[in-house]
C-alpha cells in the first residue's frame, strides 16, 4: 500500500504538467488560509526553557530574533500527530475548506501548487515557517515520519492576529474559540478526508462510469489522472444472495442479481420445534429502543445495564460481559472492556456499599477513518463499539466494603476486581 508521503511525492508538480492539474489538487484561498493559520498558530519551535511556548507566527509578529540549533530541545513529533491536529481543528468545517492527506503532505514538504503569484496572497508553506535545517523531517522506520523540534500549542495567544483573520478562521472552522482539547486533538480519529485511491498490481474492473486506473507500481511517477476525484467516486456494489434473518428496517444493500434457481428465504419465521443442528450462523437483531431496553433490564434484578456507545454495538467483541466469583470473605469480578481507554481522566470504577459496581469510560473503536503509520484506512465494516463515552453497571451478590477494593485493568482488555464482603457477613 502506498504511503501518503509517497503519494504526495508522486504529485510533485513539473513545469510541463502544471496546467493539467485537476481542481481538487490545487488548494483554494480558504484552504490555503487555514493551512497557514493552523500550522502557524497551533505549532511553534520547541525551545529550551521557553514558557509559555510561542507559535511561529507569534514570534514573527513580535519580531523576536531567530533561534539557533543550540536553543532547540531536540524533541520529535510524528507527522501523523500533526495531521490529526489539522483534521481535528476542521472536524466541524465543510469539506470545501479541507485538503486531502496527499495535499497536506505537499504543504509539509513545501511542494504545494501555487497559482499565478498574487501580491496580496500569502503562499507560505511549512518549510517557510519551520526552516528544514532546524526542523528536519526524517523517517524513523518504513512507516513512521517525524518532524524535529516543534511543539503543539493547544491554547495559542491570538492578540497579535488581525481580528478579521480570527473571525474568518471561526467562520470557516465553525469553532467558537481557538482553545483545543489537547488529548482529543492528538488522538483524533474522526471523519477527515479520504486518502488517495489505493492501488495494487491486479487489474481493476470498470464500473461502467469511471475510467480504469493504472497501477502506480509499474511506473516511477503516478500521473495526475490516476487520482480519482472522491466526489465522483461511486459506492461499492455488493453481490449477495439474501440470507435468512430478522426483518431489517434500514435501507437495504443494493443487490445487482440473484440467481433465479435460488429460492428466496422468508423474513418472518414461525417458532416451531426444530431438531438440534451443528454449527450455524447467528444473525443478531438491531439494538432495541430505549423503552424496550429499560423493560428488559427491569425484568431481572441481576441484569447488566449498559448506556452510551456500548449499548449501540453490533456483532463483535462485546463490552460489559461479566463473570462474578465468591469466596468466604470477598467477591471477584471480571469484566470485558476491549477497546476502552485506560486514561485516568476518562476511566473510573466505583464500588458502593450495597455491592453495586459502576464503570465509566470511553471507547476508541468505531472510527470511519483510521490513521496508522502515515496511512489512512477507510473502514469497510464496523462491528466494534462506536467511539464515545459509556457506562456499565452490575450488582455483586451482597454488601461490600468499598475501601477494601483492588483492581487491575490488564492489557487483554479485562478489568479484574476483588472487593471484601461487609464485615458482618464474613
pLDDT of residue 286: 54
> Does residue 205 lie within any of the structural domains?
no
> Does residue 401 lie within any of the structural domains?
yes
pLDDT in tens, 15-32: 445 555 556 678 889 999
> Does residue 246 lie within any of the structural domains?
no
CATH number at residue 338: 2.60.40.790
pLDDT of residue 119: 53
pLDDT of residue 145: 86
CB 36 within 8 A of CB 235: no
Q: 317 vs 59, which has greater pLDDT?
A: 59
Residues 40 and 166 in one domain: yes
Asked if residue 368 has pLDDT above 50, the reply is yes
> Does residue 44 lie within any of the structural domains?
yes
Range of the structural domain that residue 307 is part of: 290-425
The whole model's pTM is what? 0.46
Asked if residue 274 has pLDDT above 80, the reply is no
Angstrom distances, CA of residue 159 to CA of 58, 107, 185, 400: 9, 26, 23, 55
Which residue, 143, 171, 186, sits at the end of a domain?
A: 186
> Does residue 240 lie within any of the structural domains?
no
Cα dihedral angle (185, 189, 195, 199), rounded to 10 degrees?
140
Asked if residue 339 has pLDDT above 80, the reply is yes
Which residue, 127, 158, 186, sits at the end of a domain?
A: 186
Which residue, 186, 214, 235, sits at the end of a domain?
A: 186
CB 77 within 8 A of CB 374: no
pLDDT in tens, 67-120: 999 999 999 999 989 999 999 999 999 989 999 888 898 899 998 877 655 556
> Does residue 199 lie within any of the structural domains?
no
What's the domain count of the chain?
Answer: 2
pLDDT of residue 172: 95
Residues 148 and 19 in one domain: yes
Residues 154 and 294 in one domain: no
How many helices and strands (H and E) does the chain possess?
9, 15
Residues 146 and 294 in one domain: no
> Does residue 99 lie within any of the structural domains?
yes
Q: 161 vs 144, which has greater pLDDT?
A: 161
Asked if residue 142 has pLDDT above 80, the reply is no
H/E segment holding residue 101: helix 101-109
> Does residue 203 lie within any of the structural domains?
no
Least confident of 70-84, 180-194, 240-254, 305-319: 240-254
Q: What is the mean pLDDT of the chain?
A: 74
Residues 182 and 325 in one domain: no
Amino acid at each position: 500500500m502506498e504511503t501518503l508521503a509517497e503519494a504526495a511525492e508522486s504529485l510533485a508538480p513539473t513545469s510541463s504538467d502544471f496546467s493539467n492539474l485537476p481542481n481538487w489538487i490545487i488548494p483554494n484561498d480558504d484552504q490555503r488560509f487555514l493551512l497557514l493559520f493552523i500550522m502557524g498558530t497551533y505549532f511553534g519551535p520547541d525551545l529550551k526553557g521557553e514558557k509559555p511556548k510561542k507559535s511561529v507566527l507569534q514570534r514573527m509578529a513580535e519580531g523576536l530574533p531567530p533561534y539557533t540549533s543550540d536553543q532547540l530541545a531536540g524533541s520529535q513529533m510524528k507527522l501523523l500527530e500533526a495531521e490529526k491536529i489539522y483534521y481535528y481543528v476542521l472536524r466541524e468545517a465543510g469539506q470545501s475548506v479541507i485538503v486531502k492527506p496527499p495535499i497536506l503532505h505537499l504543504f509539509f514538504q513545501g511542494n504545494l501548487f501555487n497559482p499565478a503569484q498574487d501580491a496580496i496572497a500569502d503562499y507560505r508553506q511549512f518549510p517557510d515557517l519551520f526552516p528544514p535545517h532546524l526542523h528536519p523531517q526524517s523517517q524513523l522506520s518504513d512507516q513512521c515520519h517525524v518532524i524535529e523540534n516543534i511543539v503543539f500549542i493547544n491554547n495559542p495567544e491570538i492578540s497579535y492576529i488581525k481580528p478579521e483573520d480570527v473571525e474568518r478562521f471561526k467562520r470557516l472552522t465553525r469553532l467558537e474559540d481557538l482553545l483545543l482539547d489537547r488529548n482529543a486533538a492528538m488522538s483524533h480519529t474522526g471523519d477527515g478526508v479520504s486518502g488517495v485511491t489505493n492501488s495494487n498490481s491486479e487489474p481493476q474492473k470498470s464500473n461502467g462510469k469511471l475510467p480504469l486506473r493504472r497501477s502506480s507500481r509499474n511506473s516511477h511517477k503516478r500521473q495526475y489522472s490516476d487520482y480519482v476525484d472522491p466526489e465522483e467516486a461511486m459506492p461499492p456494489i455488493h453481490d449477495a444472495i439474501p440470507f435468512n434473518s430478522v426483518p431489517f428496517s434500514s435501507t437495504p444493500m443494493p443487490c445487482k442479481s440473484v440467481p433465479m434457481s435460488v429460492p428466496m428465504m422468508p423474513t418472518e419465521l414461525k417458532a416451531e420445534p426444530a431438531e438440534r443442528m451443528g454449527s450455524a450462523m447467528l444473525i443478531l437483531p438491531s439494538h432495541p429502543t430505549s423503552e424496550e431496553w429499560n423493560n428488559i433490564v427491569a425484568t431481572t434484578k441481576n441484569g447488566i445495564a449498559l448506556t452510551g456507545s456500548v449499548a449501540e454495538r453490533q456483532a463483535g467483541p462485546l463490552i460489559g460481559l461479566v463473570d462474578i466469583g465468591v469466596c468466604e470473605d470477598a467477591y471477584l469480578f471480571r469484566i470485558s472492556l476491549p477497546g476502552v481507554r485506560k486514561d485516568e481522566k476518562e476511566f473510573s470504577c466505583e464500588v458502593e456499599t450495597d455491592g453495586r459496581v459502576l464503570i465509566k469510560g470511553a471507547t476508541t473503536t468505531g472510527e470511519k477513518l483510521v490513521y496508522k503509520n502515515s496511512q489512512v484506512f477507510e473502514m469497510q465494516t464496523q462491528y466494534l463499539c462506536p467511539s464515545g463515552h459509556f457506562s456499565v453497571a452490575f450488582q455483586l451478590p451482597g454488601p461490600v466494603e468499598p475501601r477494601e477494593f483492588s483492581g487491575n485493568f490488564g492489557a487483554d482488555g479485562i478489568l479484574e476486581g476483588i472487593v471484601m464482603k461487609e464485615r458482618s457477613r464474613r
